[in-house]
Amino acid sequence: MTKAEFFKRELATFSDGWHAWYLLALHDVKGRYRRSIIGPFWITLTSLLFVIGLGMVYSRLLNLNLKDYLPFLACGIIAWTFIVTFVNEGASSIINSGHIIKQISMPILTHVMRVAFRNLLIFLHSWVILIPLLMWYGYLTLYGLATSILGIALVMFVLTPVAALLGVICARYRDVLPMIASGMQLLFFVTPVMWHPDQLAGLTAVIKYNPFVYLIDLIREPMLNGYFPFASAGVVFSMGVVLWASALGALFLKRKKIPYWL
């Protein structure tokens, strides 16, 4: 298979082969909540209770107004949970699909998109609680809601090749999986999820060179402040282009070895 044929086959995942990862992702979500009364809406309920409980506690610990802090925290926690789950599950996407890869010839991106779409569905169940919450506190605007959807699309554009790259690396080196999980836990504390960037005076480099800050901005700023962060969007789009080129290159170079690693 030539390089052009390989790229055409992989990218066909988004045109001709979308039904495969779409149905597999739906099956995953339905299987996770099979025989449950409210099904995936347990995600919504759990996220709501977690955000309210954490907001009430930390607003007092940090001596902040609950009206200002709770919406900020809710947007940050829900966006971060989406990102960290996407990265962790994306890293094991190829490993977990090993039984399929060894039996059926299909684009590797199908297995990555299965994880991507599954996490998007789960995220949307949490994201919907932001709408009534922000409306209650008077933050949400129609423009903010629309541009937040654009921000989510850009986040997906970046995280999908990250999942593909990590999937290849973790298929070859299994020790990388726990390293990623530990690393994401550490990054949580240096990413403005529960604290505002203004509170980290003197350590602006921690925010400036943290890529997750820009990903969270794309989801949180439109909903919370009613404007689209074009600067963050530019950074994220540039990262996405580089990551997609790297991911497709890695898949092409290791395409014959991946089945033997599983």
Per the listing, tokens 């605007």 go with 141
Listed as own residue / partner, the contacts of 165-168 with beta carbons closer than 8 Å and 24 or more positions apart are: 165/243, 165/246, 165/247, 165/250, 166/87, 166/90, 166/91, 167/90, 167/91, 167/92, 167/93, 167/94, 167/95, 167/108, 167/111, 167/112, 168/94, 168/247, 168/250, 168/251, 168/254, 168/258
Q: What is the largest CA-CA distance in the chain?
A: 62
Please give the torsion angle defined by the CA atoms of residues 161, 163, 165 and 168, in that order, rounded to the nearest 10 degrees: -140
* pLDDT (tens digit per residue) in 172-183: 999 999 999 999
Average pLDDT over residues 99-109: 88
**What residues contact residue 75 under an 8 Å CB cut-off, 6+ apart?**
130, 134, 216, 219, 220, 223, 224
Per-residue model confidence as pLDDT tens digits over 236-245: 999 999 999 9
Q: Which residue type sits at 10?
A: E
Residues 245-250: contacts with CB under 8 Å, at least 24 apart: 246/161, 246/165, 247/161, 247/162, 247/164, 247/165, 247/168, 248/7, 248/10, 248/161, 248/164, 250/164, 250/165, 250/168
The HSE-up count of residue 118 (CA atoms within 13 Å, CB side) is 27
Tally of CB atoms within 10 A around 54: 15
Q: What is the pLDDT of residue 49?
A: 79
Whole-prediction pTM: 0.90
pLDDT tens for each residue of 34-80: 776 666 667 777 777 778 787 787 777 777 777 888 888 888 889 99
Whether pLDDT at 106 is above 90: no
Judged against a pLDDT cut of 90, whether residue 225 lies above it is answered with no
CB 45 within 8 A of CB 38: yes
Token representation of residue 83: 């990102």
